[in-house]
Amino acid sequence: MKSMTGYGKAAHPVDGFEVNAEIKTVNSRYLDIYIRSNTSVSALEADIRALIKKKMERGKVNLFIDIQHTGDATGSALDVSRLEQITAQLNTIKKIAHIDEPVRLNHFLAFQDLFDLKINFDKHPELRQGILQTVEKAVESCNTMRADEGAHLLRDMKARITTINSLVSGIAKRAPQNVTEEFEKLRKRIQELLDGSQVDEGRLEQELALISDKVDISEECTRLQSHLNQLESTLSSKTASGKRITFILQEILRETNTINSKTTDLEIAGSAIKMKEELEKIREQAQNLE
């Protein structure tokens, strides 16, 4: 189980170049991959994306690839044709706008693409594989951090589930007493409304029993315990996912809300509120999981 938050980097010298890859990941509903580089890596982008998809399932992934000459490689980092194009454009702007100021170096510095490294991968076949290897190492480094963070989240969620289990046990023990108390409250209220009038005691008992059955929360407690067992089993599974955990949490919250709505018992209501607080904290943690 991994968190979606992580960071990793790697460096690798290859074929006269120094390749650096830096990757940052944050929460996202899907796997969103964004690739930037100081040189065009469009020829490798499909392979890079495929590599990341094998290693990561969810999260917003920001990958930056920096490639620098080490002195042995040939090629120019300055796009001369682009420089000539920009010069012509600036001179045209000067003429149309009647600007007398001469074109200076700082004007060209605003065009970062002038200085982007241009690489012919056909001339440097080893560099292609070197870039992919560097990206893979950066991804693995990031996943190590994501796994460590995931383990921390897992410990926190299991501790909270232990608290919820304790609260459910307390509610389940009090459930029969809750029915009895609700039954007596209803009987007393009806007797007050009848104010001494004659009533069929058998029919009264029957109606009260039907009404009391509606406040019985034993079934909800049973389903709650089942969902909690599912959640614990899911958290212990190597294939656990944040999506499945979130779904089970929704089911647990539904049963908790039902219990809260079916009782006027302050102790049970208080436990239900505490459970919802713990469930919300687990839900927040689950949103960070891959």
120: its two tokens: 């012919």
Mean pLDDT for the stretch of residues 201-215: 63
Spatial strand order of the sheet with 59-69 comes to: 6-14, 17-26, 59-69, 31-37
On the question of pLDDT at 166 being above 70, the answer is yes
Mean pLDDT for the stretch of residues 68-87: 70
pLDDT at 290: 85
pLDDT band at 197 (very low <50, low <70, confident <90, very high): low
On the question of pLDDT at 204 being above 70, the answer is no
Q: Which value, to the nearest 10 degrees, does the dihedral of the CA atoms of residues 8, 14, 19, 25 take?
A: -30
Residue 233 CB contacts under 8 Å (≥ 6 apart), including other chains: none
pLDDT at 261: 86
On the question of pLDDT at 49 being above 90, the answer is yes
On the question of pLDDT at 75 being above 90, the answer is no
Give 22-42 pLDDT, tens digit per residue: 999 999 989 999 999 888 788
CA separation for the pair 210, 208 (Å, rounded): 5
83: its two tokens: 């420089």
pLDDT band at 208 (very low <50, low <70, confident <90, very high): low
Tokens 């189980």 locate to: 1
Residue 221 CB contacts under 8 Å (≥ 6 apart), including other chains: 168, 171, 172, 175, 259
Stretch among 128-137, 179-188, 206-215, 235-244 having the lowest mean pLDDT = 206-215
3-class DSSP state of 248: helix
pLDDT at 78: 63
The residue ranking higher by pLDDT, 263 or 222, is 222
Q: For the whole model, what pTM was predicted?
A: 0.68
pLDDT band at 109 (very low <50, low <70, confident <90, very high): confident
Mean pLDDT for the stretch of residues 139-167: 94
Read off φ and ψ for residue 32, nearest 5 degrees: -115, 120
pLDDT at 115: 63
Mean pLDDT for the stretch of residues 149-156: 92
pLDDT at 31: 95
pLDDT at 29: 87
**What one-character-per-residue DSSP string does 147-199 give?**
HHHHHHHHHHHHHHHHHHHHHHHHHHHHHHHHHHHHHHHHHHHHHHHHTT---
Q: Are 27 and 284 in contact (CB under 8 A)?
A: no
3-class DSSP state of 36: strand
- Arithmetic mean of pLDDT over the chain: 85
Stretch among 93-107, 142-156, 207-221 having the lowest mean pLDDT = 207-221
Mean pLDDT for the stretch of residues 184-200: 67
Environment class of residue 240 by beta-carbon count within 10 Å: exposed (0-12), middle (13-18) or buried (19+)? buried
On the question of pLDDT at 44 being above 70, the answer is yes
Stretch among 31-35, 77-81, 229-233 having the lowest mean pLDDT = 77-81
Distances (CA, A) of 268 to 11, 18, 79: 58, 64, 73
